[in-house]
Structure 1
Amino acid sequence: MNFTVAIVGRPNVGKSTLFNRLVGKKLALVDDTPGVTRDRRPGDAKLIDLRFTIIDTAGLEEAGPDTLEGRMRAQTEAAIEEADLTLFVVDAKYGLTPLDKTFGELLRRSGKPVVLVANKSEAKGSDGGFYDAYTLGLGEPVPISAEHGQGMIDLRDAIVEAIGEEVAFPEEVDEAETDIDVRDADFEDEEADEAAYDETKPLRVAIIGRPNAGKSTLINRFLGEDRLLTGPEAGITRDSISVEWDWRGRTIKMFDTAGMRKKARVQEKLEKLSVADSIRSIRFAETVVIVFDATIPFEKQDLQLADLVLREGRAAVLAFNKWDLVEDPQAVLADLREKTERLLPQARGIRAVPISGQTGYGLDKLMQNIVDTDRVWNKRISTARLNRWLDGTQTQHPPPAVSGRRLKLKYMTQVKARPPAFMISCTRPDALPESYVRYLTNGLRADFDMPGVPIRIHFKAGENPFEGRKRKR
């Protein structure tokens, strides 16, 4: 990606629709409600033969710096400062407004190249708004339809003219070496037996929790800058935003997600889209940090989120945020440890860290626990060790007899990692009691040092060599 482009404009002119069109995926949430986008979201754009980084931004509004709209505007201004080129999107169907003229003046003062984009030009009666755009003094507007993909060739030509061919088309690099889909590269063959944990591999971490638990503040503290929009209002984050940074020489890709409330309370379409986006981030991540509010921990929704993460097979770490507001830390910590073991038995030994996103307390310890949990999540155990363990476990506590017949566990192997999954060959797998499955799971967790990650055990009946033969008389 050789240059960066920011998409700006007032609310509801189609910026996120254009962003999705350029990146080729529905990454940004789109709705008829004005002001859906709040944080600035980067993406890898492709426009005909152009490749560049695109930044979706919040709608520009005139508001005080202490208001939510004012903080959103500050994020947009930061994107303009960061970008090499700005796409100023206006609504040709609705026509110009005083806001468009105000922000057109702001872009002129920035000194950065600007391409004026007249979106929704396919609509009936859009000619008036298109010609009005000339009055902004930003050159000839480019008529497009972001929703239908019309005018993309003209947009490409306008970008090349504004930024220059030297920047738009740098020296070509061998695509065979560089054109790699990061998502596919990260998900390497899970069946391959890795001798050791790769400490240099990029790590994907999703931050989830209830609204106003302090997720965005936590990520800003990690980054050391106000990269994500924060504030006292609940539910500020709507899109799942990814940011990258280095921790001890390792690339960390962290996903900030929208707060997830109880399902019965989620009524609006926009919130449903935000929750669905958060769930996709959980499935894409490797390790998930569940942020609890330390002042009101273990609400029912917190436990449901933890259960969701474990059912998805992700590695989980609990972060008790707002620790700076706790009055008696020692007593509260002891109580939280007891509740963690009691309320989350399906992830016995799950790592829990008290932190403060506001002050930075405990963040280094949290990152170390994230890496340690990911190491366990990727763990592989040799078949020989597993079968020695299985023999010893059965000797200590044999499987129960069902209908007068003793069950036999014959052979065990690990079929995959991420999360660790095992296959046991046995007689009558359907008759094995759930209590004995829990006994095996807890034994694996304790004896092979695998705390806090989901463990899957599958049972398979051994092949009967005499099956299908006719009985001799």
Structure 2
Amino acid sequence: MQSGQTPCVVIAGRPNVGKSTLFNRLVGRRQAIVSDMPGVTRDYKEGEARLGGRLIRIVDTAGLEEAAPDTVFGRMRASSESAIGQADLILFCIDARAGVTPADRHFAQFLRRQNRPVLLIANKAEGSAAQTEVYESFALGLGTPLAVSAEHGEGLSHLMREIADRLKGDEKDAPDEAGLSLQDRDASDEAAEAPIKTGPLHLAIVGRPNAGKSTLVNALLGAERMITGPEPGLTRDSISVQFRDQKGDVQLVDTAGMRKKARVEEKLERISVSASLEALKMAEVVVLVIDALLGVHEQDLQIARLIEREGRACVIALNKWDAVADRAATMKAVSDRLEISLAQMKGIPVITFSALTGAGINKLMPAVRQVHDIWNCRVSTGELNRWFEGALERHAPPLVDGRRLKLRYMTQAKARPPTFILFGTRAEQVPEAYRRYLVNGLREAFYLPGVPIRLQTRGTKNPFARDSQ
């Protein structure tokens, strides 16, 4: 580990020994999907924990299995080995109830060859029944095992102390409670008066299964971070990674494919979709990946409408564009479908690319940054009301119950997404058609394409009307 870097602890072991449960315990929240079904974790997942007053990066990996490199399990093992290669400490988990298996012996031998410190964890060791098997794990040659039960929380405090002790370095290299090493404190004090930098842009990649989301993430990162292949549904959990584009940091989340709700039957898929929805809600910008060969399906539109309801900015990404025969006809069909079925996000940007070859990938992040700026846009009250007066002159408010609405002025309440408040007598009775007229006018006049626009109303109270009792 280099000076100043956050130490990395990687949890490894064969499938279904409780690695994800232990990961959730260490990071302090249910961040990884947990299931009794073996092989749930596929891409390695990262989280942060503070142990012994020090920030530590915890990595949950897929189960180690012997498999051909071109199979799903072979790709999962390659992903796990990639994570192990950057570890400062490996937590090798075995199932204390099952005892030491031939697979455990095989992978213990593999880990010994990695020349990295290993801490042997005998998980599922609740009660006295598993104690015999815990002692048998000495035979793996990885030192004294720590008996824990991640599911029941037993032995975790001892484990956390042991991890902190194993990662202790020189005091000058160890971060203090603020996450800064001693040699960095002077630099941080000098920078204390500098402007506070904004956080990373939160970007989620969503879409139907097999649309190419993980391949797109790998293309953006320039590395094989996510497991990809022709099999649909490879990604099961939401995986968050960071990278930098030309304008700054980006927190990127790859999500599991979302099928129609009626077709989601397995419990594991329901959990995966739930994690995808949570990632969508936490994002600022959402990239909706669509298979250009299949066109825009109803499920794609349902996901887009969900993005709009959550108030997120959106970019449509047409993948596999290199395989499209008639590009002009395909683009026209997509544009017509979006204009008819997604009018509430009129002008949404559409990017064409091939995640597999990388052609057109460079167009995506500029479009994401642009729509993010629009999503954060603010309009001055004076400029807004000058437009509003013109809008009233061009198309006066309709009669409601034989009486004309008196709309007085408008202001922007907030951005992210742009939200406007309309004030006037009985403004809450403005018909939906007139609301759409105002929203479309706002979108066109102040250049707000591709983002949701919220229009709220505030009626004025008649001071001469007696309150009904």
TM above 0.5, yes or no, is yes
Match of 2:409 among 405, 411, 434: 411
Question: Corresponding residue for 1:429?
Answer: 427
Question: Corresponding residue for 2:185?
Answer: none
Match of 2:250 among 249, 252, 262: 252
Which moved further from structure 2: 360-369 or 451-460?
360-369
Inter-CA distance 30–150: structure 2 relative to 1 (3 Å threshold): same
Question: Superposed, which structure 2 residues align to 1:58-457 within 5 Å?
Answer: 58-163=62-167, 165-166=168-169, 170-173=173-176, 175=178, 201-457=199-455
What is the identity, as a one-letter code, of the residue corresponding to 1:364? Answer: N
Cα distance in 1 between the residues matched to 2:310 and 2:41: 28
Task: Say whether the 8 Å CA contact 1:208–1:257 is kept in structure 2.
Answer: yes
CA RMSD in angstroms comes to 2.0
Inter-CA distance 38–167: structure 2 relative to 1 (3 Å threshold): farther
Cα distance in 2 between the residues matched to 1:154 and 1:127: 17
Cα distance in 1 between the residues matched to 2:212 and 2:430: 44
What is the identity, as a one-letter code, of the residue corresponding to 2:215? Answer: T
1:333 CA displacement: 2.0
Structure 1: 5+ residue runs without aligned partners? 179-197
Cα distance in 2 between the residues matched to 1:167 and 1:443: 62
Task: Say whether the 8 Å CA contact 2:52–2:161 is kept in structure 1.
Answer: no
1:168 CA displacement: 9.0
Structure 2: 5+ residue runs without aligned partners? 182-195
Cα distance in 2 between the residues matched to 1:199 and 1:444: 31
SS at match of 2:46: strand
SS at match of 1:110: coil
Task: Say whether the 8 Å CA contact 1:41–1:57 is kept in structure 2.
Answer: yes
Cα distance in 2 between the residues matched to 1:261 and 1:117: 38
Cα distance in 2 between the residues matched to 1:152 and 1:340: 52
Question: Corresponding residue for 1:53?
Answer: 57
Cα distance in 1 between the residues matched to 2:198 and 2:324: 36
Task: Say whether the 8 Å CA contact 1:2–1:170 is kept in structure 2.
Answer: no
Residue by residue over 1:69-114, the C-alpha shift from the partner in whole angstroms, topping out at 9 and shown as x without a partner, is 0000000000110111100000111111110000000000000000
What is the identity, as a one-letter code, of the residue corresponding to 2:321? Answer: W
What is the identity, as a one-letter code, of the residue corresponding to 2:43? Answer: D
SS at match of 2:58: strand
Inter-CA distance 169–106: structure 2 relative to 1 (3 Å threshold): farther
What is the identity, as a one-letter code, of the residue corresponding to 1:261? Answer: R
Inter-CA distance 109–334: structure 2 relative to 1 (3 Å threshold): same
- Determine whether 1:7 maps to 2:17: no
TM-score, length-scaled by structure 2: 0.92
Residue by residue over 1:240-289, the C-alpha shift from the partner in whole angstroms, topping out at 9 and shown as x without a partner, is 00111111141111100000000011111111110000000001100000
Cα distance in 2 between the residues matched to 1:460 and 1:157: 57
1:336 CA displacement: 2.1
Residue by residue over 1:208-237, the C-alpha shift from the partner in whole angstroms, topping out at 9 and shown as x without a partner, is 000000000001011111001111110000
SS at match of 2:85: helix
TM-score, length-scaled by structure 1: 0.91
Cα distance in 2 between the residues matched to 1:383 and 1:252: 32
Cα distance in 2 between the residues matched to 1:172 and 1:111: 25
Task: Say whether the 8 Å CA contact 1:93–1:123 is kept in structure 2.
Answer: no
Inter-CA distance 370–105: structure 2 relative to 1 (3 Å threshold): same
Residue by residue over 1:389-418, the C-alpha shift from the partner in whole angstroms, topping out at 9 and shown as x without a partner, is 111100110001122211111121001110
Which moved further from structure 2: 284-293 or 141-150?
141-150
SS at match of 2:396: coil
1:330 CA displacement: 2.6
SS at match of 1:166: coil
- Identity of matched residues, %: 50
Question: Superposed, which structure 2 residues align to 1:34-45 within 5 Å?
Answer: 34-45=38-49
SS at match of 1:290: strand
SS at match of 2:41: coil
What is the identity, as a one-letter code, of the residue corresponding to 2:72? Answer: L
SS at match of 1:150: coil
Question: Corresponding residue for 2:24?
Answer: 20
Cα distance in 1 between the residues matched to 2:144 and 2:296: 57
Displaced runs of 4 or more, over 3 A: 47-50, 160-163, 167-174, 198-201, 467-470
Task: Say whether the 8 Å CA contact 1:88–1:117 is kept in structure 2.
Answer: yes
Task: Say whether the 8 Å CA contact 2:292–2:318 is kept in structure 1.
Answer: yes
Task: Say whether the 8 Å CA contact 1:316–1:452 is kept in structure 2.
Answer: yes
1:430 CA displacement: 3.9
1:294 CA displacement: 0.2
Question: Corresponding residue for 1:192?
Answer: none
Cα distance in 2 between the residues matched to 1:99 and 1:91: 11
Cα distance in 2 between the residues matched to 1:157 and 1:403: 72
What is the identity, as a one-letter code, of the residue corresponding to 2:92? Answer: F
1:199 CA displacement: 10
Cα distance in 2 between the residues matched to 1:442 and 1:160: 57
What is the identity, as a one-letter code, of the residue corresponding to 1:52? Answer: I
Inter-CA distance 398–199: structure 2 relative to 1 (3 Å threshold): farther
Task: Say whether the 8 Å CA contact 1:2–1:168 is kept in structure 2.
Answer: no
